[in-house]
Amino acid sequence: MNNNIKIAPSILACNFSKLSEEIIAIEKAGADLIHLDVMDGHFVPNLTFGPPIIKSVRRYSKLVFDTHLMVQNPDDLLEEYANAGSDLITVHVEACNNLVETLERIRSLGCKAGVALKPKTDPLFLTKILDKIDLILVMTVNPGFGGQKFINEMLKKITVVKSLIGSNHIDLEVDGGITQDNAKLVVKAGANILVAGSSIFGNGDEKKYKLNINSMR
Ligand code: DX5
Ligand code: ZN
């Protein structure tokens, strides 16, 4: 077991009809962060939840709330996401009009700032903004839906991003299709935070959450 690896279960795969109970159960099972997938029906075709839902479950967990914004023009609601209790806010580079301003605003709201890369996004621009970010999220599926298959070619991209980070204190989070089988490869490539929905919440059997998390480390 590698305790330097942090596991961030994505509540997208949980049973939304008992969201607070799922969050309590997943924290008890050993999760390190709660990954919150916000989708707007524009940047991605799917639609999920926003600040009111995040705020309503904030009191059920002490874990880091890791808000992944898959929304076009995230700027308008950043304050609401921060006030709802996000500790970390990650935006997609293609969704921002002025990425640096958005990242600075996230930090000024007291949150850590992350940038997400879709599978086709070239990571090279990151070299210019390393001092503006606390986390890089490499997507290993096309954003929008849980339960997709991990794109193997992304392993190489994770190693490229890891070397771009160099000695900077920036987390490397990987999101999409992570399973107990490929987690090791993803970590070997350089990731230190693993997001996983389906392979942790599985068929909703709460008794298995701890095993699902541990076997991913
Ligand atoms: C996809 C989301 C992911 C997703 C991961 O757009 O960003 O966080 O919920 O789910 P799995 O682990 O099922 O691929
Ligand atoms: Zn996500």
Integer CA distances (angstroms), 154 to 11, 13, 27, 181, in order: 23, 22, 29, 15
Residue 193 pLDDT > 90: yes
Atom of ligand 1 nearest to the CA of 176: 14
Q: Mean pLDDT for the chain? A: 97
- Percent helix, strand and coil across the chain, each rounded to 5? 40, 20, 40
Catalytic site positions? 37, 175
37 Cα–ligand 1 center, Å:
8
Please choose from 11, 12, 198 the residue to mutate so as to test ligand 1's pocket, defined by most ligand atoms within 8 A of CB: 12
Residue 92's beta-bridge partner residues?
116
Would you say residue 1 has pLDDT above 90? no
Q: 100-155 pLDDT, tens per residue?
A: 999 999 999 999 999 999 999 999 999 999 999 999 999 999 999 999 999 999 99
Pocket test for ligand 1, best of 121, 175, 198 (most atoms within 8 A of CB): 175
Q: Work out which ligand 1 atom sits closest to the CA atom of 44.
A: 6
Judging by beta carbons within 10 Å of its beta carbon (0-12, 13-18, 19+), is residue 166 exposed, middle or buried?
exposed
Residue nearest to atom 4 of ligand 1 (CA): 146
Q: Report which DSSP code applies to 140.
A: S
Which atom of ligand 1 is the closest one to the Cα of 198?
A: 13
52-82 per-position pLDDT tens digit: 999 999 999 999 999 999 999 999 999 999 9
In this predicted structure, what is the pLDDT of residue 3? 80
- Tokens representing 165 are 């980070």
Mean pLDDT of 8-12: 98
Cα(118) to centroid(ligand 1), Å:
12
Q: List pocket residues of ligand 1, CB cut-off 6 Å.
A: 10, 12-13, 35, 37, 68, 141, 143-144, 146-148, 175-178, 195-199
Q: At what angle do helices 51-58 and 19-28 cross, to 10 degrees?
A: 50
In angstroms, rounded to a whole number, what is the distance separating the alpha carbons of residues 153 and 120? 11
